[in-house]
Structure 1
């Protein structure tokens, strides 16, 4: 602790900062090269094959397939829950009226 106090005083930093930096620098020396998990090469090859096969399709077909996948996704078509607070009933009525107009313009 005396060493940490001395270094902190020299650097004009808190002792906790000196200790945190020491831990950070010691951990960075311990980092090793990332090892790919088993099966990663097979998954990468399958992805590449799928990408190449998809690139052979027409853009319209790719869009159609992407839209179909989105429809099958969990939660597709479920709206998000929205909670809104209003200061007064008039504020709510104004918001509701504006929202109805927006929906009519979207249709």
Structure 2
């Protein structure tokens, strides 16, 4: 009894950009073009079978978009202004050129609230 998975040969037509992307992935991952296409089908099928959106939106992003669409234009403007106000209060994370620089900053009390 053979342990090999049965294969079927098919012919498909892809846009050139998609084929080029599949070839790039195949080369990067040291896989065949067929493996890349089969893996894409497996992942897409798994998403659909588990009720997950097949498009690029996750469930939380989709829910947020639905809430946004339900708002009036005035409510959306208010929410955008609030988001802008809050984002202005957030500071960019501190970066360090070296671990020694980080240690000096930490010893000087950096990062303590």
Q: What TM-score comes out, normalization by structure 2 length?
A: 0.30
Which structure is higher in helix share?
A: 1
Q: What TM-score comes out, normalization by structure 1 length?
A: 0.31
The structure whose Rg is larger is 1
